[in-house]
Chains A and B, each alone.
Chain A
Amino acid sequence: MFPQRNRSLFSLWFFVFSLPVLFLLFFPLGRLVTAPSPGSLLLAIKDTEVQLALLRSLLTSLGASFISLIFGTPLAYLLARRNFPGKRLVEGLIDLPIMIPHPVIGIAILGLAARDTVLGDILSQLGVRLLGTYTGIVTVLTFVGLPFFLNTAKAGFEAVPQRLEHVSLSLGAGQWATFFRVTLPLAWRSMVLGMVMCMARALSEFGAVIVVAYHPMLAPVLIYERFTAFGLKYSQPVAVWLIILSVTLFVAMRFLSRPVRDW
C-alpha cells in the first residue's frame, strides 16, 4: 500500500479541479430556482398561457419519446445485434442531430415539406403541414431526441447476453418470442431511460422549435418571449416551472423503471 498522505493529496487535486465544473453546473440553476419569490411563482402557474405552454411542452416531448420508442427500438436492436454494410455510417448519422446547430434542424425539417419536392407534394396531398403545427413540433423534437433514445436503447440491447437469446431459440421459441420473452424484459429499463433522455432533450429544445412553430407556443419559446418582451424577472418563474416539471417527471420515470426484483 502507498502512504495515506499521497492518496489524500491525489483526491484533493481532483476535488479542487472539480469545483469549477460543479459551480458552472449548479450555481446558475440554483440562482435561477431561488430568484423568483413564491408569490411570483404562484402567479405564473395561475397564468393560463404558462399552463398551456407547459402542457404543450410536456405532451409534444412525450409524443416525441413515444415515437422514438416505437420506431427507434427496431433500429437500436439491429445496431446492437446485427452486422450489415454501412452500419458505421448509420451509427455516425444517428449522432448527427447532436452536432448540428438546432435552427438548422428546424430549417431541414421544414425543407421536407417544401412544395417543390416529391415528399412535400405527398405530404401536402395528405394534408400534413409542418410549419406552425404540432406535427412540425413533434417532428423536430423527435429529430433532436432520437439519438439519445437510440444510443441508450442500443446499449441496453448490447447488455443482454446473446447466449440467453440462443438458449431461448434452442428451447423452441422463435425470434419474435425470444425478443418479447427474453430481450425486451431485460432491456426495457434502458429503453425507459432512453425515453427519459429523449424527452429531456425534447423538453429543452428551443432553436429548432422556434423555426418550425412560434405558435402553438411551447414553454421554452414562452420563456424566450417573456425575456425579450418583459425582461429577466418575468421569464424566471416560467423557467423555474419548466425545471420543476422536468425534474418531477424524470424522477418519477426513474423510480418506475428501477429494478424491483433481485436479479
Chain B
Amino acid sequence: MLEVKNLTVRVPGFVLKDITFEVKEGEFFAVIGPTGSGKSLLLESIVGILPENLAQYSGKIVWKGRDITVLPPYRRGFGIVYQESALFPHLSVKENVCYGLRYLKISSAHARERFNLVVERLGIGPLLERFPARLSGGERQRVALARVLMLRPRLILLDEPISALDPLFQDDIRELLQMLHREFGLTFVMVSHNLEDVMHLAQRGAVMHRGSVVQQGRIEDIFERPASTFVARFVGAVNVFPASLEGRRAGVGPLSIKTAGGFSARASGYISIRPEYLVPVLEGHGGSQIENCLEGTITRARQRNFQMEVGLEVQGVRFTALWQKDEALLKRLEVGKVIKFGFSPDHVNVFSDE
C-alpha cells in the first residue's frame, strides 16, 4: 500500500539515508528511534511538506502503485497529527474540525453526517465552540484527530501523538487510537520514541538510527530479537554482551550461557537478554529447573516505577534485572549480598553484527 523505496532526503545538517519499508492497508506501523534519528523528517517526507528549496530527494514514495514522491501534500490525502496538535489557534474547535471539508467533493448532507459521527466518536461535542487555547492537551489531540478523520484520509501519520501529554491523558489517547484503528480500519504510521506506546498500538515497525532504518519487522521481534547492539539497548534489552558462539553455547567472558539456537562453526557475535527475563531463584520458590542459573553479587537495587532494577555481577560480567517487588525478594536485595538468578535459553537473543 505505502512503499518507501530507497528514499534519501538531504536537508541542511541531516541526511535521511536509503530508507525502504512498506506499510500494508489497515496496519498500525511504528517508526521508532531516539530523538534526532530522522523520524519526523521521514514523516514529513511521506506527507510531502518539506519545502522544495530545503530538501533534496532521491528514491520513491509509492502509494497503491502510484509514485507520489513529488505530489503536493494537498493532493496526497494523508492526514498528520503532531505532538503539539498544531490546531489553528484563531479558529474554534468546530472550525478546526471542518477546515478541510471545503476541499472535499461531498454533499453538505454527507458532510454533516460525517461531522456528527466524528464528533460523537471522539467525544468532542461539548468543545465545539471553544478555542484551542482553552483546551487540555488530551482534548487538543482529540480535536486534531477529528480534524484529520473528517477527511477520511487514506493514511494517518502520527508524530509523537502521546508523549507530550499528561499521564492522565496518555491512556485516553492510546485507547482512542486503538479504537479508531479497530473500528474504522484506518492505516497509521506513528513516529515515537515511547516504547510503551509502540508496544500498545503497533503491529509492525522500523527502528531508525542516525537517518537510517536499522531494523524492521514485527514489533515483538524488534523487542525480543533486536539485530544490533543499538536496537537492543534502545528497546530496553540492556544486557548486551559480545560473545563467542559455538553449538548451543555463548561464551561471555568466563561464563558459558546456553542459547536456543545452534551454531555449527565457532563464531563471534553478541547476545542480548531483556532485564525482565532474568528471574530471581529463591529457596522454596522453585527455579532450580532454570537452565542458565547464575550466582551474582548485588551491585545496586533501586526502585523503577513498580519494579526493582537490580544490578548483578557474575565473575566480572554485569547484568541488569527488573524484578517485581515481592516481600521475600526485597529482604534479599542488599548491595553486596549474593543472590541466585537465571534465564531461559529461549530468552537469549543472538546476533552477529553491530
Contacts and interface: CB of A to CB of B under 8 A. Distances in A.
A166 B157 CA distance: 13
Interface string A156-185: 000001011011111111100100011001
A166 B47 contact: yes
Interface string B43-64: 0100111010110000000000
Contact of B100 (A84, A161, A171): A171
Query: Of B72, B100, B151, which is in contact with the most chain A CB atoms at under 10 Å from its CB?
Result: B100
Contacts of A167: 80, 82, 86, 88
A173 B89 CA distance: 17
Interface in A161-217: 161, 163-164, 166-174, 177, 181-182, 185-186
Contacts of B100: 171-173
Contacts of A173: 74, 99-100, 103
Contact of B103 (A83, A171, A186): A171
B307 to A, nearest CB: 37
Interface size class of B (residues with CB under 8 A): 20 to 34
B79 A171 contact: yes
A82 B52 CA distance: 10
B73 A169 contact: yes
A262 interface: yes
B278 to A, nearest CB: 43
A197 to B, nearest CB: 23
A263 interface: yes
A261 interface: yes
Contacts of A177: 103
A185 B133 CA distance: 16
Judged by DSSP, the binding face of B is loop
B133 A262 contact: yes
Interface string B66-107: 000000111011111010101011100000000110011000
A170 B74 contact: yes
A263 B148 CA distance: 22
Contact of B88 (A164, A169, A262): A164
B89 A186 contact: yes
Interface size class of A (residues with CB under 8 A): 20 to 34
B132 interface: yes
A169 B148 CA distance: 12
A170 B79 contact: yes
Contacts of A168: 88, 99
Given A174-B74, A182-B88, A263-B133, A166 B103 contact: no
Given A168-B99, A172-B104, A161 B86 contact: yes
A166 B90 contact: no
Nearest to B132: A263
Given A82-B53, A166-B44, A166-B73, A171 B86 contact: no
Interface of B: 44, 47-49, 51, 53-54, 72-74, 76-80, 82, 84, 86, 88-90, 99-100, 103-104, 131-134, 147-148, 151
19 contacts: A82-B51, A83-B54, A163-B86, A164-B88, A166-B80, A167-B80, A167-B86, A167-B88, A168-B88, A168-B99, A170-B47, A171-B79, A171-B147, A171-B148, A171-B151, A174-B72, A182-B88, A186-B89, A262-B133
